[in-house]
Amino acid sequence: MGSEPEILSPGKELGPILPLSTWQKYKPVVVISSFSLFGGGLAVWGFSQFLQARGFTSVVGSRIFLALACLGVSGIAFVWTRLLRKSKNAWFAGSLLVIVVAALALDRFIPMPQVSTIISSSPYTRPSDWRTIKDWQKSEITAILEQYPNHTLHIVASSVSDETWDYANQFKELFLAHQWKVIGPETGPEDQIPLNVQLSISEQYWGGKQRPDAFTSLDSVLQFIHIKTTPNFVVDPLVSPDELVM
């Protein structure tokens, strides 16, 4: 027969009670903090994506992100209700009900953009009596531009009328399409109003000094295709040596 278990007397000590380990002490704080951070981050990200998806008229996508946001909030509610001594599940169920109601309200009261209210811009139509660079003129200019890429054209419009601005932008698009650098168009001084296209170069080329071949060739082709230009280059002290001003 085995020995009988020893019955301790009321005054006999059981031995020292060991303190809780560090992990057991801080485990609730770590778990709650981790779930709160993850859930909060998921909730914020999901809600921001929900709003963005609504802006792009994606109903299904917006609801998926809203569900992820609800999942994050639900995770937070779960860990915090675990701290309660009583009715943990009841409180968690109540929290889920509130979350669901809030999500349905957001889905209902944040409307989708109405397609009928989006106004599409009509294509630009140039009036028939405005000046244009004809296709055959463009082909002649293009031949020069392709020979001298990476030069700079500075466009200055002496008038702010729509027609003049449109004509200046036609040159800009043509030169940019053939690897020229274009500055402008900009508005020129009010006291300088040339009636035709005027080409200006730096005063550095005054007195017969050799001008860049690109500038000279472009001047010749503009006259050849009957673009109304001034007879000669205008020497301007404000013009940089490496640019042609139109």
**Over residues 24-33, mean pLDDT:** 68
- Is 12 within the bounds of a domain? no
Domain edge (last residue) among 116, 147, 167? 116
**Over residues 7-25, mean pLDDT:** 56
- Is 130 within the bounds of a domain? no
pLDDT in tens, 156-165: 887 667 888 8
- Is 20 within the bounds of a domain? no
**Buried b or exposed e, range 83-106, using 16+ CB within 10 angstroms:** eeeeeeeebbeebbeebeeebeeb
Shared-domain flag, residues 109 and 81: yes
Shared-domain flag, residues 107 and 144: no
- Is 83 within the bounds of a domain? yes
Shared-domain flag, residues 184 and 239: yes
- Domain coverage including residue 87: 28-116
- Is 234 within the bounds of a domain? yes
Shared-domain flag, residues 166 and 99: no
Shared-domain flag, residues 142 and 234: yes
The answer to whether the beta carbons of residues 215 and 199 sit under 8 Å apart is yes
Shared-domain flag, residues 140 and 241: yes
Domain edge (last residue) among 116, 145, 167? 116
The pLDDT of residue 120 = 47
Structure-derived torsion over alpha carbons of residues 59, 60, 65, 67, reported in degrees to the nearest 10: 110
Number of domains comprising the chain = 2
Domain edge (last residue) among 116, 150, 182? 116
Annotate 177-222 with DSSP letters as a single string.
TTT-EEEEEEE--TT---SSB--EEEGGGTTSPPPPHHHHHHHHHH
Q: Tell which phi-psi region holds residue 141, choosing left (phi > 0), alpha (psi between -120 and 50) or beta.
A: alpha
Shared-domain flag, residues 148 and 232: yes
Please report which confidence band the pLDDT of residue 244 belongs to, taking 50, 70 and 90 as the band edges: confident
The pLDDT of residue 115 = 44
Cβ–Cβ contacts within 10 Å for residue 157, how many?
18
pLDDT in tens, 52-96: 666 555 677 677 877 888 887 887 777 777 777 777 788 878 888
pLDDT in tens, 83-94: 777 777 888 788
Shared-domain flag, residues 140 and 232: yes
- Is 13 within the bounds of a domain? no
Shared-domain flag, residues 66 and 109: yes
Shared-domain flag, residues 110 and 163: no
**Average model confidence (pLDDT) across the chain:** 76
The pLDDT of residue 119 = 45
187/130: higher pLDDT: 130
